[in-house]
Structure formats: C-alpha cells, structure tokens
Structure 1
Amino acid sequence: MTDLYLNSIVSGALYLLGIFSIITWVLIIIKGVQHYRLAKRDRQFTKQFWSASSLDAATSLANDASPKSRLASIGFEALHVSEGSGASSDLEHSWDRQELLERHLRQQIQKEYQSLESGLAVLASIGSTAPFVGLFGTVFGIIHALSAIGKNASASVDVVAGPIGEALVATGVGIAVAIPAVLAYNFYVRRLKVTAAELDNYATDFVNLAQKNSFRVAKPVAKHEAAKGTAPHQGNPANPQGVYA
C-alpha cells in the first residue's frame, strides 16, 4: 500500500509537469503569433500614417487592427471630444485639449500593455515552480527507494533502480519544463518593453502633430455619406478636409 501511495505521488508530479509543459508551449505559440501579427500590422499602419498628407487625412487610417492604429483612433476621438465639448459642464470635459488627449493616449497605452502582458504571469509561475514540482517527485522517489531497501533488506541495483530512476526522471522533467517557460517569459517581457516604448514614442509624436494642428482634426467622412456623394467637402469647397468635430 505504501509503495502504491509513493508511486502515485511521483506519477502525479510527472503528470502535473506534463500539463505545465503543454500550457507553456501553447502560450509560447499564442504569444508568438500575437506579437508577429501586431508587429506586422503596426509597421503597415506606421508607414501609411507617416505617408498621409496631413493629420486630417490620417483620420481615415485609424482602426482596431494594431496597437498604434487603436492608439491613433483613441487620439482622434479625444480631439473630437475636446473640440465639440464646448463649455466644460462635467469632469469628463474639464480638461483642456492637450491634457485630454494625453490622458486618453496614456490610458490606451496601459490597455495595450495589459493585453500584451496576459499569459506572462503563467509562464513566470511555471518557470519558477516546475523545478520544485520535479524535486517533490524526486523526494518521494527516494523515499520509495529507501522503503524498498528496508522491505527487501538489500540495497542491490534491482531493488533501488526503479525508484531512483523515477526520482531522477522527475528532476529532469521539472528542469526541462522550467527552461522553456523562463526563456519565453524573458523574451516576451523584452518584446513587451520594446512595444511599450514604441507606443510611448508614437504617442509623443501624435501629441506634437496635434499641437501643430491646434488640437483640431476633421472627422473622417462616413462611408454611407461617401457612397451617396454627400461628403462635407462637396457642399463646402472652401473646407475640403471636412468639418471639425
């Protein structure tokens, strides 16, 4: 009964490490695909944004496809709110244009950071606990070996080889699970810091562009209006960029 109990503990530790390994590699793949797609879309949006003829023209580029495009979209919305708020009748609109823009950009950067940070705590936890789970199995494997020696009154190889082998396997598996988790965590933390720095730089550039534009941008033409040929610039040739928010 004791041998069965000790064997079940060692097997349970190995099964747990197997689950940890599966979770680790699933997260590695998911985070890798996420970072690759977002980086590719960010490069595309950045190229289009800086190729725009003006900040007003860039409003039509903002979408939800990448962190920078979402940041731009939030920035344009903040400029529309600040321009159309009129008299400050509540706390939401009590900020001046620049403060409101910076506040919205800062909040969106935090949201993007939290989105990219998801899953990293799991990798860190697995990387730090997997060796101890393996060590836990190792301890009970050694106890099993000692129990077998006492029961058989012999320390021959055929008596201790099985339990000691299980103990060593548990240690090796624990280390094998922890290494990819730690390496992946460090890599994605580095990527997260680089992305956050890029978003901070882009937000600074966006504020500077908005300042040059007097913190005013034209609302993009609605699709249904463009289809009907009722874009704002058609009714007002003097204002080809559209009506400010």
Structure 2
Amino acid sequence: MEVDTTANVWTMMIGAGPVVKLVLIMLVVFSILCWTVILAKIKRFRQARLGNENFARLFWESPSLTHAYNHARIMPETPMAGVFLEGYKELKRLQKCPKPSDTAIGLRVWLETLERSLNKGIQEELAAMERTLPFLATTGNAAPFIGLFGTVWGIMRSFHSIGLKGSASLATVAPGISEALVATAAGLAAAIPAVIAFNGFMSWMGQMEIQLQGFSNDFLNTVERQLLHGKETSQEPT
C-alpha cells in the first residue's frame, strides 16, 4: 500500500500543471538548500562547542596571557579563541599608551576599553555563527505559503476543468484536488525541518553567548589581577 501511495504521488506530480510543477520545483530546491544548511550548521556548532571547551582548558592551564595567545592564534575556528584575541590585542595596544597619573582611574578606563573590545569580539563571533540561519527562517515562513499558492492554483485549474466537462462527480473532482494538495504537503515538508532546526540553532546561539560572556568576565578578572600586581599572573578559575 505504501509503494502504491508513493507511486500515486509521483504520478500526480508528473501530471500537474506547469504552475504547480514550478511551485514543487521551488519547494524541492528550498528543501535541499535547507538540509545543506542544517547539516553544515550542526557540524559547525559541534566544532565550536568542542573548540570552546578545549580553549577554556588551555586558557586556565596557561601560565600567562602570552601563552594563551599562542594557543588562540592557531584556533581560528573557535569562537572563544576569537574573543580572547580581540581582548588580547586591545590589551597590547593599551600597554603602549602613556599610563595615567591616577592608577585607579587608569585601571577603570583600561577595563572599560577592554570590555568594549571583548563585547565586539562576542558580537562578531555570534554573527559568524548565525550566518545562513536567516535562510532557515525564511524557508519556514515562506514555504507553506508557496505550497498554498500551488494548491489554490491547482484547485482553480480543477474547477475550470469541471466547468469545461460539465460534470462535478467525485471521479472528476478528486484527481485535480489531490494533485493540488501535493503542493501544500511539499510546502510543509520543506518548512517543518527548517523551523525546528532554526529554533534549535537559536537556542544553541543563546547558550554560546552566555558561555562567551562568562569567558569575557574571566578574561577581565585575569587582566585586572595582572594590572594590580604589575605583571602577568597565572590563570586560575575564579
């Protein structure tokens, strides 16, 4: 029975009108692109998660920020390393500036400047991770309506055929209606995975933002201790 149903669906798709066929082709393309994005993003988020865990361990094990920098610069695909590099480079620029006479004010200014740089790094890393995700949202929103358009068009075509034949029997109406409904099914088939994946990825993005913000605070605490002692100190979790 399942084989017959599948064969019937293919038969209806082949026998559909040109507009419905165009709609189905569009939805198939959307679906293929969506699954390409989904699989690529699953791989990317997994790499980012493992990379963040690895860099966090290396950061706390490093005897100084310079050692942590040497690890970070060879981990370009790791968001946490990217945030660290943004903060470390800003710290080096600040160290070249004349030191203010008021140490307390100078420390506060340095930390505020570093915080802005770290926040910039976080936003850049999140933007990179979020790239191509809007396509999933677009597909989730648009695909059902594209499918609905194909369905409405198919039903209009079916009623037009009924008018020409002058008969409204089930045998006359059913083939056209079922052909039209295939477009709605195709739209939902493209939209449902896209919506589920988009929501899942956005949840992961939120978790990553919290993780990167926590690391940013750890970095600022480490730098503050370093500035108070006047030298680089070993990193130990606070």
Q: TM-score, normalization: structure 1?
A: 0.79
- 1:103 maps to 116
Deviation at 1:153, TM superposition (A): 0.8
> Separation in 2 of the partners of 1:14 and 1:166?
11
Deviation at 1:167, TM superposition (A): 1.0
- 2:50 maps to 40
- 1:68 maps to 80
Unaligned ranges ≥5, structure 1:
1-5, 89-94, 219-240
Unaligned ranges ≥5, structure 2:
1-15, 101-107
Deviation at 1:32, TM superposition (A): 0.8
* CA pair 197-217 structure 1, distance change in 2 beyond 3 A: farther
The answer (yes or no) to whether the contact 1:80–1:217 under 8 Å persists in 2 is no
The answer (yes or no) to whether the contact 1:123–1:185 under 8 Å persists in 2 is yes
- Aligned-partner residue type, residue 86 of structure 1: P
- 2:31 maps to 21
Deviation at 1:56, TM superposition (A): 4.5
Mean Cα deviation higher: 47-56 or 74-83: 47-56
Cα deviation digits, residues 81-122 of structure 1 (max 9, x gap): 10112279xxxxxx9321221111011111011111111111
Deviation at 1:127, TM superposition (A): 0.2
- 2:22 maps to 12
- 2:222 maps to 209
- 2:105 maps to none
> Separation in 2 of the partners of 1:22 and 1:159?
34
Q: Relative contact order, CA 8 A, sep 6+: which one is greater? A: 2
Deviation at 1:159, TM superposition (A): 2.6
Identity %: 34
**Structure number having the greater helix percentage:** 2
Q: Equivalent residue of 2:174, what SS?
A: helix
Cα deviation digits, residues 151-192 of structure 1 (max 9, x gap): 111123443233212111111111111100000000000000
Equivalent residue in structure 2 for 1:195, among 197, 208, 221: 208
> Separation in 2 of the partners of 1:190 and 1:17?
26
Cα deviation digits, residues 2-47 of structure 1 (max 9, x gap): xxxx811111111111111011101101111110111111111111
Mean Cα deviation higher: 44-53 or 202-211: 44-53
Aligned length: 208
Q: Equivalent residue of 2:38, what SS?
A: helix
- 2:132 maps to 119
Q: Equivalent residue of 1:154, what SS?
A: coil
- Aligned-partner residue type, residue 26 of structure 1: T
* CA pair 48-154 structure 1, distance change in 2 beyond 3 A: same
> Separation in 2 of the partners of 1:62 and 1:145?
63
Equivalent residue in structure 1 for 2:63, among 53, 58, 71: 53
The answer (yes or no) to whether the contact 1:56–1:217 under 8 Å persists in 2 is no
